[in-house]
Amino acid sequence: MDIRSLDLNELTEYIEGLGDKPFRARQIYRWLHVNLVSSYDEMRNIPLSLRKRLEAESPLYTPEIEDLQVSRIDGTRKYLFKLADGNMIESVLMKYKHGNSVCISSEVGCRMACTFCASAIGGLIRRLTPGEMLSEVYEIQKQIGERISNIVIMGTGEPLDNFSNVVKFIRMISDENGLNISQRNITLSTSGLVPEIYKLIDENLQITLALSLHATTQEERKKLMPVAGKYDICDAIKAMGYYAEKTGRRVTFEYSMIHGENDSDEDAKRLSDLVGNIMCLVNLIPVNPVRERSFVRPDHTHISSFQKKLENYGINVTIRRELGRDIDGACGQLRRRHMKGQE
């Protein structure tokens, strides 16, 4: 059992089932989710007999740092974590003036098969538990000795394809009994699983929802993102609009700019027509070069021109700050390079 995946109520029930008192659960929860310990031996106020039983029944696994890349340009840190079963996942630490942000993975691999993403190469291996996602944040916070204040669920994997585990992770990372990171400082990025977007509304979370859009027509989006073959672009955007309306939270449309593919004047006009009536932000992303792909990013002048065109249509637009350009910055690249090195 992954004990880090148990919320406080579940942990209390588990500890009571072992014949111990409920207050022990709160103590253990604090050790796990506030003090961020890596072993039961560190839980100094827990009786030795209980620690030994927990170690036997619920071993406490901590991801190992298999590789770490640090950008000489901006200090961005990319971690390759080795899980208990030997699988690898990536997490990225990005430093901003407003605080430390961590981009976490939600799955080992991904089955969405987006053509511009290295994460999809090799397909989905398995989904992460809430405890494994929490550990990505915990290990980085311990490693740098500074508080993590923002989380982006935008690494390897489709978060809404791991719906229940991701929702539980969000509730636990924002729990006042744990790290207590505000849900308003959490962003979840989806490729557009329409039914799950509507399910997410029912969870009454206060997170920011981002849609990986990347095209302005159904035909072009299908070429980039196979998920569009199941969920029409208009249905995905309608679901995002409904999310914004029901939660009162501004949504984000992620738009990876690919030279000659989706960066024309016509694309700017179609994009404004698609999202113009929604409380939203469009985030332009210069596409990351991926060794196995042939996409080329537009130059900065062209991206700025595209931004101005959207602003003239009344759209709120940002250009994503490029961090970690001198390391394997794109999702899946460091894991992919490590896997190829083992072949």
CA–CA gap between residue 179 and residue 132 (Å, rounded) = 15
- The answer to whether 278 and 241 are in contact (CB under 8 A) is yes
Question: How many distinct helices (H) and strands (E) make up the chain?
Answer: 11, 12
The interaxial angle of helices 163-173 and 194-202, nearest 10 deg, is 40
Q: Output the CA torsion sign for 199, 201, 202, 203.
A: positive
Nearest to 285 by CA among 340, 200, 213: 213
90 is catalytic: yes
Report whether 189 contacts 210 (CB < 8 A). yes
Assigned token pair, 138: 């915990």
Q: Return the residue matching tokens 């029409």.
A: 232
User: Which of 217, 211, 319, 213 is closest to 267 using CA atoms?
Assistant: 217
CB within 8 A of 68, min separation 6: which ones?
Answer: 77, 78, 79, 80
d(CA 224, CA 191): 11
Residue 112 backbone phi and psi in degrees, to 5: -80, -25
Q: Please pick, among 117, 245, 331, 343, the residue that the annotation labels catalytic.
A: 331
90, 132, 139, 158: the catalytic one is: 90
Instruction: Please give the Cα distance from 173 to 4 (Å, whole number).
Output: 11
What residue has token string 């977007």? 197
DSSP state of 260: T
Q: How far apart are CA 35 and CA 54, in angstroms?
A: 18
Bridge-based pairing of strands 124-127 and 107-109 is antiparallel
Q: Give the catalytic positions in this structure.
A: 90, 331
